[in-house]
Structure 1
Amino acid sequence: MKFLKNIHKLSGCQAAILTNQSAFGYQNKYHFQIYSEIFDLKTIFLPEHGLFAELQDQVSGDELSYLFGNMQIVNLYGKEESSLVPPRESFQNIDLVIIDIKDVGSRYYTFLTTAYYILEELSKLKKETGKAPVFLVIDSPNPIGTKVEGSPLQETYQSFVGVKTVLHRHGLTPGGLLSYYNETFQLNVDVVVVPVGVMHPKQIPSFQWVPPSPNIPTQNTCFVYPGMCLLEGTNLSEGRGTTKPFETFGAPFLVGKEKLELDKRMSTHQKGKFLLRNLRFLPTFHKYANEICEGYQLMVTKPKEFHSLYFVLYFLKQLGELFPNQFAYLQGVYEFRSDRPAIELLVGDSYLLDYLTGKHTDSELESYLSETESDWSKAIKPFRY
């Protein structure tokens, strides 16, 4: 692992780390074990789902406990929104904050939002005291490559599942996205990105997969997640409780002539880029637990051409037209926010939300996405590693 030659220069520093089981591989060890041999590792910051991805989504990690010598465990996904921000005392006597955790390429995925909150706190600390720990990002490939999808998240919709200005599928590595935050938001933290490998810009990486969270079981899941995560804001099952979450989806009410019409409409959308396999499934937990659902398995046949976000936006629009009395967007608390429905926080753009209610045509949506994706691709050129 070439990056070890670089980080050995910091040997002996007092360090904290944000990590989980996805940072695994060198010498068949978890990377925090390696760092504990190089640094004086004081603190492990726990992201959502826990250190070993033990917990389902939106489940507090307050009850988790681990024994790693004298290391302090700081849970950054508790029962209150305030738990998402690291306490100031967790940086006391710390020289270095290490970020070594895999991302899946979508802005909803919370690990890099947690890293961003750490970055913000270091920025405040530096402004107040004149100094702050170095922010060291152990970079890793984006599992779905450099392709981008979507539109910038508008500030009014910013939440734990979306940082302002970022597209739904951002096309950056963890180091690239965190460097973008640091420069764009003028945080002025000392960010050091250590790449672990070089990849051709159009290459989709292939590597041994350690699930970063319970419902991203395979690399294939990542290709559909930029769109399918929107189902979390609806009364459709996104496949939690099955072996193919986000690839399997549906609901008990998808039946009758309306379902046949839905099948027909979806058969012409992005033709040749995916297959929809009709099926029935029985979630073992989460939405419709132990209840038969009618739905689909989404099988992407051309991942470099398939647009997951457009697929789901189009799909939801059809559901609104064909199942107006059964299909619904969920209300209530979602990722600590109760002032806006989950679908608004996930979509994050008033133009896209208007599309869902029929205020824009499909061709207008395509043009809009083409423009926003082009603008984003230009903006992030300096942050591609």
Structure 2
Amino acid sequence: MKKPDQVLKGSSIGMLTNQSAYGWKGDYHFRSIQKEYGLKKLFLPEHGLFAELQDQVSGSELHYDLGETQILNLYGDNEDSLFPGEEAFSGLDTFLIDIRDVGARYYTFLTSALYAMQAADQYQKSGKGRIKIVVVDSPNPAGRRIEGSPLQKKFASFVGVEGTLHRHGLSTAGLLEYYKDVFSLDLKFHRIKLYPKKSSSFLWVPPSPNIPAQTTCYVYTGLCLLEGTNLSEGRGTTRPFEIFGAPYIDDLDRGILEKLEEKQKGIFRLRSLKFIPTFHKHFGKVCGGYQILLDKPEKFHSLLFGLHFLKTIREEYPDQFEFLNGPYEFRSDLPAIQLLVGDEFLLGYLDGKRKYSEIKDYLEETERNWKKATRSYR
């Protein structure tokens, strides 16, 4: 692991970051980098520099004043905006990635980082100059727990890099170095450390508007699947992904509640409630639903819960529950639920073709394989 001065001093730097990179020298890291080393270009991910933009909303850099630093938006109005062109690296010799991941493959920040690394690789191959990659190795707020199966190629999209598990269990630098090797990118790769070894949840800075607390990261892998349905994933509440439901759910039905809790007894509980989203799905409507409370977060398997929850609600409310169609993160040829689940075997469970015990055994095997494959990146 290098010290910042060893790889940044005297460099022409482009930086992918947002407000989640905060605390080094008591400020946002982009400001500290700008003061210490100079910052030629700032690359913005989804949600904007200060996580002020909601999901699937293109950003504008017009309200940021960064002096002579050029701003490049990596989340615009079309799919092409996700991929920086080779010209984005003109005048640079260093690409600094300093952004907080939440541990799940759907979360788009490290996909943006991969796309930028691929563009930097092409820039080098065209003979225009060499780019070194420097990654600030921020800890994984969801911990080292692994969940899921490799994303199958036909489901690859901005919310899923082929071969990556739903919950990868790697640090930011660990996953990006894995991507560098798997995608054969001829880039010099350096890790630097700006964060303390232990980061308190009280110092949490939301990386995006709907990840308000570190606890959100523990449930996100499974509850993000609700984005592919007409269930509210809690956007428009103070606890998105921890509060969820729909107007048609009877939160007082104890039979349904017991079915939802039966698979991981003693690890979590569901608190039934009513809520009214202030925006997004079911805006202004009274929804029945639940808040998920984790008794043993280190043992909670979020993906298994999310799959079981969707299957149960689909069976209990067959006339009201729906999987959504239409564009999702710039793909319109497949439903969002397929892009998110990304695995025919698991999708078969949602369709009633597999048993819970089958997908549990299947995931235990895929998770073991991923742990072996990524051991050197941990």
TM-score class, shorter-chain normalisation, is over 0.9
TM-score where L is the length of structure 1: 0.94
The superposition leaves residues 52-84 of structure 1 with CA deviations (integer Å, 9 ceiling, x where unpaired) of: 001000000036431111111101100011000
Query: What residue in structure 2 maps to residue 218 of structure 1?
Result: 213
Give the secondary structure class of the aligned counterpart of 1:129.
Answer: coil
Letter aligned with residue 229 of structure 2: T
Query: What residue in structure 1 maps to residue 372 of structure 2?
Result: 378
Query: What residue in structure 1 maps to residue 346 of structure 2?
Result: 352
1:22-171 correspondence to structure 2 within 5 Å: 22-62=20-60, 64-129=62-127, 131-171=129-169
Query: What residue in structure 2 maps to residue 252 of structure 1?
Result: 247
Query: What residue in structure 2 maps to residue 325 of structure 1?
Result: 319
- Confirm whether residue 338 of structure 1 aligns to residue 332 of structure 2: yes
The superposition leaves residues 131-160 of structure 1 with CA deviations (integer Å, 9 ceiling, x where unpaired) of: 431111011100111110000001110100
The superposition leaves residues 192-225 of structure 1 with CA deviations (integer Å, 9 ceiling, x where unpaired) of: 11134686xxx99746100010000000000000
Letter aligned with residue 271 of structure 2: R
Distance 1:316 1:276, change over 3 A: same
TM-score where L is the length of structure 2: 0.96
Distance 1:9 1:87, change over 3 A: closer
What residue ranges of structure 2 are gaps of 5+ in the alignment? Answer: none
Question: Which of 353, 359, 367 is the aligned partner of 2:361?
Answer: 367
The superposition leaves residues 289-332 of structure 1 with CA deviations (integer Å, 9 ceiling, x where unpaired) of: 11000000001110110000000101111112111111010000
Moved more, 265-274 or 276-285: 265-274
Give the secondary structure class of the aligned counterpart of 2:126.
Answer: helix
Give the secondary structure class of the aligned counterpart of 2:40.
Answer: strand
The superposition leaves residues 145-201 of structure 1 with CA deviations (integer Å, 9 ceiling, x where unpaired) of: 1110000001110100010111000000110000000001111211111134686xx
Give the secondary structure class of the aligned counterpart of 1:40.
Answer: coil
Moved more, 131-140 or 109-118: 131-140
What residue ranges of structure 1 are gaps of 5+ in the alignment? Answer: none
Give the secondary structure class of the aligned counterpart of 1:353.
Answer: helix
Between the aligned partners of 2:120 and 2:133, the Cα distance in structure 1 is 8
Give the secondary structure class of the aligned counterpart of 2:119.
Answer: helix
Give the secondary structure class of the aligned counterpart of 2:39.
Answer: strand
Distance 1:367 1:198, change over 3 A: farther
Query: What residue in structure 2 maps to residue 11 of structure 1?
Result: 9
Moved more, 63-72 or 331-340: 63-72
Between the aligned partners of 1:305 and 1:83, the Cα distance in structure 2 is 39
Percent identity between matched residues is 53
Displacement after TM superposition at 1:261 (Å): 3.0
Between the aligned partners of 1:9 and 1:63, the Cα distance in structure 2 is 28
1:274-293 correspondence to structure 2 within 5 Å: 274-293=268-287
Query: What residue in structure 2 maps to residue 263 of structure 1?
Result: 257
Between the aligned partners of 1:196 and 1:70, the Cα distance in structure 2 is 25
Contact 2:261–2:268, Cα closer than 8 Å, also in 1 = no
The superposition leaves residues 6-25 of structure 1 with CA deviations (integer Å, 9 ceiling, x where unpaired) of: 33553121110000000110
Distance 1:204 1:22, change over 3 A: closer
Contact 1:62–1:79, Cα closer than 8 Å, also in 2 = no
Question: Which of 209, 225, 230 is the aligned partner of 2:225?
Answer: 230
Displacement after TM superposition at 1:373 (Å): 0.3
Question: Which of 309, 312, 315 is the aligned partner of 1:315?
Answer: 309
Between the aligned partners of 2:127 and 2:256, the Cα distance in structure 1 is 59
RMSD, aligned CA: 1.8
Displacement after TM superposition at 1:90 (Å): 1.5
The superposition leaves residues 85-124 of structure 1 with CA deviations (integer Å, 9 ceiling, x where unpaired) of: 1122121010101000000101111110000000111122
Displacement after TM superposition at 1:260 (Å): 3.9
Contact 2:250–2:289, Cα closer than 8 Å, also in 1 = no
Between the aligned partners of 1:253 and 1:197, the Cα distance in structure 2 is 45
Contact 1:141–1:205, Cα closer than 8 Å, also in 2 = no
Contact 1:120–1:187, Cα closer than 8 Å, also in 2 = yes
Contact 1:158–1:345, Cα closer than 8 Å, also in 2 = yes
Give the secondary structure class of the aligned counterpart of 1:269.
Answer: helix
Letter aligned with residue 375 of structure 2: K
Moved more, 289-298 or 61-70: 61-70
How many residue pairs get aligned? The number is 378
Contact 1:157–1:344, Cα closer than 8 Å, also in 2 = yes
